[in-house]
Structure 1
């Protein structure tokens, strides 16, 4: 087995075209392997599908013109694809691929748009020189090809496997297609664009790494290329106050901390905390309820969990006696129950010992409650 061959030169050597080509191919292979194995392939910058409203001069129908914006991508073989100017998608190209598609209603499904690298000869090839040159071109344009796909064809692109480690960048006979998005087609024109269809979104480039280090002592992860107000960010800080912060960007570019983990393990949260509990966990809440009141569930327990049987609720009620009734009044609780909806039923009777008619008054009462919620052992921890 041999590794990559690096060209070497010596004094007095006659350089053939193959020697110079080998120099270029070695550099291309080095760059391709770096991009292929240290990064995830996909769109790196731009290349979005942009629409511009238009009107059909014959039918007066409204439609959109679709352009691919300038940008940069890397395919699965490590080859770069560069668009320096916007490219207008031609409706005739779409019709050529999908015009005779009677199996589906084209107005309901978005169709994929692909980008692939392509080699082309420059428009003006070099002329033969005075030393008997062949006149063959001495340049190759690393160009591109934009094409439309049939419905569902985006899945073959998403599932394609990268080449072996030693393989060169993709050649023109087997182009690696990159999904740019989807177009909708109505009445012979484009009607809109999408970035995802049938579970396959546009793929963006990424990084493969087990370690990411920051030179400034602070590492930030965010969802956009720039800090945008209201967007989330994760900040890992070192220095004098090390910690981990999750929050949202404010107008000045600072992060409003919603969750902070300090170096000593302290956790600070703005808002409530919700999550699954392991089997056997117990939560408790208590207080005082009057007749007709719904008892609250402990924090973190939902009515749906109780209804599904994932949580078992136990309730204990202790009737309360009014603090001052007078020596001649007798207060006797007669009912302190709770129904399946956790609604309290609490009644009491009041006897006046000085009333010779034996009058009895029944009225709503109050009770101290204790609600215990236990996660069952068969709920999978949820």
Structure 2
């Protein structure tokens, strides 16, 4: 079968891989229909390298069940599914408390076990989630990042009528715009230095967009909103944005960090003092799982895409066969054309 394997930084190879076999009674073997490139995939490809040399890459996907172990009862061959790529240990203190996202030994598909950039992948039954017939495979492949956003918002204090600013309109930020509306936000501001991303943000439901190239984002927010927003989301994973987002909320407001910067952050006094003087509440949202596993993030995401409240078509800019994977990763890094969500399609 086809497989994209990561051997080192910027060393991604299309290779043949062995077919999966059932080795446990709760195994589920899935034919991958669509797999998305995540921002974390790009960071590992460009900056960090693989956890294990030569591991099949990728963790956002949808597909069709091919075979199941004897103990599997909730899906059967032919069923359409999405895959939760997180594997909490189940035995650490946080897992015992019912906080699998905080698992001390959490691993992810495509890290220490074969991932979704392949013709087939294999998951434990608990990680396999049936999808409704009306949800297409492209949309289903984005249920995982949708669940990441839902998980963070469930941790927040967002409530109907709140104003929200989303700083960073990559794929997580774009989903954060729609989820803010689902949580009842009256106004959502989208902030990014890329005008192409802001164009998509408008299609995703942003009420206003801010391009902070000539004026700091917090000044633009104050002109539009007065004292600031109720909730500010950092979804860029940017060193700069991780500081600047602190100036967006009003006094007593909240900041939710969803992005992951891969460099040290140095915060100017102006931004740091916003935490103290404005008595901000600072939260982090990590991964997409809760208890009972995999969590309400998944059931609500599936219902949101089924009902059409979460729509992802505007986010998808490239649909490519899996063999174009190594090439497209390099093209994304070159930044000489615009990419939002890229989907890869393996051959059966």
Q: TM-score, normalised by structure 2?
A: 0.23
Which structure carries more strand by proportion? 1
Larger Rg: 1
Q: TM-score, normalised by structure 1?
A: 0.21
Which structure carries more helix by proportion? 2
